[in-house]
A and B are shown apart, each in its own frame.
Chain A
Amino acid sequence: MSTSIIGAAVTRVDGPLKVTGKAAYALDHPLENVAWGVPVASTVGNAKIVGIDLSTAERMPGVLAVLHHGNTEPLFRPAGQWEHSRASEARPPFEDDNVYYYGQYVALVVANTFEQAKAAADAVKVQYSAQKPSVSFDDGPIPERPRVHYTRGDADQAFESAPVKVDETYEIPVETHNPMEMHATIAVWDGDKVTLYETTQGVMNHQQVMSEMLGIPLERILVISPFQGSGFGGKLFPWPHSLLAAVGAKKVNRPVKVQVPRSLMFTTVGHRPMTRQHMRIGATQDGKLVSIQHDVIQPTSMVDTYVEACTGVTTMLYSCDNVAAQQTLVERNLGTPTPMRGPGIVPGLFPLESAMDELAIRLNMDPLELRLKNYAEQDESFNPARPWSSKHLRECYEVGAAKFGWSKRTPQVGSMKNGTEILGWGMATATWHAGRGAATVRVRLNADGTARATCATQDIGTGTYTVFAQIVSEKTGIPIDKIDVVLGRSSLPPGPTSGGSTVTATVSPAISQAAQGAVDRVIAAAQSIPGSPFHPNNLPEGDPVKLLMTAGRIHAAGKPPESGVPFGEILTAGKLAALENEARTAPDPAKEHDFSAHSFGAQFIEVAWDPGIARLRVSRALTVIDAGRIINHRTGRNQILGAVVMGIGMAMFEETIYDPRNAKPLNNNFADYLVATNADIPELDCIFVEYPDLQLNEYGARGIGEIGLAGVAPALTMAVHHATGVRVRRLPVRIEELMGSTRLTA
């Protein structure tokens, strides 16, 4: 097999399992004697629990236990002692009688069936001493000291003296992840050991956090999560329901299933926090940026500190001598926020790229030209500035502009018509940092001609299983359908959390090295096993020859694979079941400061505005991405297009609406919380400009899970402005604002 398997459009190796219903998601694992746990969640946002009446619930059919803060041994806080160990919510459930947000767990009913547990949970009467919650920016104190502060040059002074300025405030509401598969856990105790069937983006982190919060040694916890109905960041770090399942199962001495219902998916498993972002940009008359200032206010919860790192992108995207950025956190009665696809950069790009468009209009300059004028040839956020590991953003702009027809854009508002509709065109820059971490992978070559690769990472639906199979196949020549990839189990060789678009870049070198090591062992065996045709005794000259493994066959270098034998025959000759190798790879810390590694891209969007009926639709979207080498074009394209769909939802639909009276998300269901439907999505296109980033890893692959979402919202609101003349500075775009009314928020 040639190297063409890398970069090919390979169908998912786990696809058949998924489309036939055989893939076991968290609650699908067949277990005997399982009980159900149904949580009781607070219906107020800021309170003390003053009473819990179980008199009805406890007597209901099938009820095994009702747990709450008054009758449950306290759990532990996460230690946060390892660099990569992290819990979403540090306060364990039932720690005390405080209620910090609507939807906080206040009790758990365990019963024989789901229906019995649900009925009893509804019958638990909780009395609260409630106070008015604070849910919005202005609903409480704003601290004077920022949490994050960045500065280079003198942005204030440069802004004051800049001839052209933009000074605007932008807002993004809370967005809720809502993966199809809701969070869920099955906990099974066996003596002092517990197995947790999970839907998590990090089996190893989950194991570590559970060890800390349950207070038991790591080796007694096994986390199993072979498939996820996606996570979008919401499943990166454990949430309290997993602890509830473990505690409930221990209490009733049976396996216990806990599923987070859709309504609590809006409150109790994180969200992208709302942000208010003040952007000030100053430029010269010819469009050179002289100052960028970005101030963010963002709520976190009352119990955890979560920073949505919006300003990071501001410091590196454009060349500018004077940059200041700061972020201030306010504590509000909301659940703890958590990373949502493209955290920091996606919400940070909305004000930055919107302000760039507003600046372009003030300069009477094409917005793409403005970006080229301020192109960052190196990463100026570092001092001294660092070279990019690989950057081809200019080509993304050019390829995208040509394909989209950007030169035909007439800048006047409402000037491009199509029948009764007015077209609007927008564009924005996309970026995402290219990370890489440590991973250990084991590759086993079996005597029957198959291979197996194992790692304690997981495939959250992005195609990680397939990447493993592709790289093992590339190194061994074993066809993909004979390669078994086993992931999603904390007992496997240590692997990375699926977050930050880093898994492919992280695991690729380890898979490659492990596979090559296994191949080397087979070659060594071929030269040392007496029954092997390549044992010196069996060679005419009696001298060892250099061997290769190609297309799954061991053969002499310089001769075709057909001249050799299938590798399994070597193992069989040696009476070996398999040979394997394990490799750990990590980025070289010495080279860490040599380069700045980012992916880049350009978004182009067309909207169609029908003013007669105030109807806005996206009619075209094109995304051009520079993300190094694309290992799998099929799953890679899927990642980008899926993210663009999510970006259209972010720009046009998504908003978790809180009732200020009790902090309830009013639209906590799929009918009322709007995401894009198929009917909202036009034909999408995506182009990869492929330049392997060999500073990052041998394949030059960077992650692509998030960048597709970056820049969609500002490109879309720019298109909306071009069509309608309305500048939307608070997402999502709403009909009333396009009709000229002031839009009020709850």
Chain B
Amino acid sequence: MKVFRYSQARSIEGAVRAGATGTFLAGGTTLVDLMKLDVLQPPAVVDINGLPLDRVETLPGGGVRIGALVRNSDLANHEAVKTNYAVLSEALLSGASPQLRNMATTGGNLLQKTRCYYYRDTNYACNKRQPGSGCAALDGFNRIHAVLGGSDRCVATHPSDMAVAMMALEATVHVQGPKGERAIALDQFYLVPGNTPDRENVLLPGELITHVTLAALAGGTRSRYIKLRDRAQYEFALASAAVAVSMSGRRIQRVRIAFGGVGTKPWRSREAEYALEGHDAGTENFRRAADAAMADAKPLKYNGFKIELAKRALVRTLEETTQAA
């Protein structure tokens, strides 16, 4: 760990000012871990835990506004979230461990760093950590790496479960920066690695996530998150699927689908959505949608099974959300 300046922000404006040359500290579950490993070496750390961003508010006309500092445990167990956005509650509870969820925040989780073995060890080449140094995962042990959205510079997965659920809920990220506030659709928030895997999202220097908002879902929408992995708890997804679907009889009226564990970012699949909307619920159609979702998947040496695993995760999630109540 390198020497760094530490300050506590007393206001959002103050945080934004200090954040221009530093890194925000919320739950610390990623940042502190990676600072200990020297993977992240911020010259300054701005502790934002004192900011009034720790509430979940229900909005007039439905929907919720989630403060960036709301802890994962609190969000998962919030009544409105459990009732209206089951997929989000399930995704949060499938992530990490109870201890980590008690610390990890909504804003921090959106910015969670990859668990790539090679990113986490400064002795390896890693374009995400040190642009231009190479990628040790490409010819390394890449069983946990991405099959969607990778490039010849980086194939690291985005590790969040929460963000996958929010992708299916079409969340909006609200940020405040040196030039004021802006709202970013979560779908537009993340970047694929391309030639610049160090740039993971569209945030500009100093911009602070203040809230995430979720719009009200159409009446009768059902949602679910299924996460598949080697063990039952405390492991990142090998493949996961988030679904929010509303039906008219057996016909799928509207569906939003996202995958975790397989993409370099939380992976919204419009291909799967197109394949389903207007069609009847049924395993054959689900399978067709899953094939569409994974049509562009590119397996690496060790992770080819993730393609089929993700398909099965989606099919099961659709089966469970569309079966007769």
Task: For the complex formed, measure the closest distance between the CB of B207 and the CB atoms of chain A, giving whole angstroms.
Answer: 29
Per-position contact with B for A458-498: 1 when CB-CB < 8 Å, else 0?
00000000000000000000000000000000000000000
Which residue in chain B gives the minimum CB-CB distance to A657? B141
Interface-side segment among A265-273, A387-395, A543-551, A669-677? A669-677
Interface-side segment among A6-14, A79-87, A607-615? A607-615
Interface-side segment among A139-147, A688-696, A734-742? A734-742
Residues A679 and B232 in contact, CB atoms below 8 Å apart: yes
Cross-interface CB contact of A677 among B38, B141, B234, cutoff 8 Å: B234
Residues B234 and A614 in contact, CB atoms below 8 Å apart: no
A396 within 8 A of B: no
Give the bracket for the number of chain A residues in contact with chain B: 20 to 34
Cross-interface CB contact of A659 among B140, B233, B302, B312, cutoff 8 Å: B140
Cross-interface CB contact of B115 among A653, A672, A739, A741, cutoff 8 Å: A672
Given A664-B121, A735-B305, A613:B228 Cβ within 8 A: yes
- Give bound CA distance, A734 to B233, whole Å: 16
B residues 132-185 in Cβ contact with A at 8 Å: 140-141
Residues A615 and B228 in contact, CB atoms below 8 Å apart: yes
Which residue in chain B gives the minimum CB-CB distance to A677? B233
A156 within 8 A of B: no
A119 within 8 A of B: yes
Cross-interface CB contact of A674 among B231, B305, B313, cutoff 8 Å: B231
Residues A674 and B235 in contact, CB atoms below 8 Å apart: yes
Residues A614 and B141 in contact, CB atoms below 8 Å apart: no
B202 within 8 A of A: no
Given A613-B228, A735-B305, A118:B1 Cβ within 8 A: yes
- B232: which A residues are within 8 A, CB to CB? 617, 677, 679-680
A685 within 8 A of B: no
Query: Interface residues of B, CB < 8 Å — how many?
Result: 28
A590 within 8 A of B: no
B315 within 8 A of A: yes
Cross-interface CB contact of B123 among A43, A612, A653, A667, cutoff 8 Å: A43
Residues B231 and A676 in contact, CB atoms below 8 Å apart: yes
Task: For the complex formed, measure the closest distance between the CB of B188 and the CB atoms of chain A, giving whole angstroms.
Answer: 30
- Give bound CA distance, A664 to B122, whole Å: 13
Residues A680 and B231 in contact, CB atoms below 8 Å apart: yes
- B309: which A residues are within 8 A, CB to CB? 614, 735, 739
- Give bound CA distance, A666 to B118, whole Å: 8
Residues A652 and B231 in contact, CB atoms below 8 Å apart: yes
B238 within 8 A of A: yes
B316 within 8 A of A: yes
- Give bound CA distance, A680 to B233, whole Å: 8
Other than A657-B141, A746-B141, give 14 A-B pairs with Cβ distance below 8 A: A612-B312, A612-B316, A613-B312, A613-B316, A614-B309, A614-B312, A617-B232, A652-B231, A653-B230, A662-B123, A678-B233, A679-B232, A680-B231, A746-B302
Identify 28 residue pairs between A and B in the complex whose beta-carbon atoms are under 8 Å apart, listed by A's number. A118-B1, A612-B312, A612-B319, A613-B312, A613-B313, A613-B316, A614-B309, A614-B312, A615-B228, A652-B231, A659-B141, A664-B123, A666-B117, A666-B141, A671-B235, A674-B235, A676-B231, A677-B231, A677-B234, A679-B231, A679-B233, A680-B231, A735-B238, A736-B304, A739-B305, A739-B308, A739-B309, A746-B302
Which B residues fall within an 8 A CB radius of A?
1, 38, 115, 117, 121, 123, 140-141, 226, 228, 230-235, 238, 301-302, 304-305, 308-309, 312-313, 315-316, 319
Which A residues fall within an 8 A CB radius of B?
43, 115, 118-119, 122, 612-615, 617, 652-653, 657, 659, 661-662, 664, 666-667, 671-672, 674, 676-680, 734-736, 739, 741, 744, 746
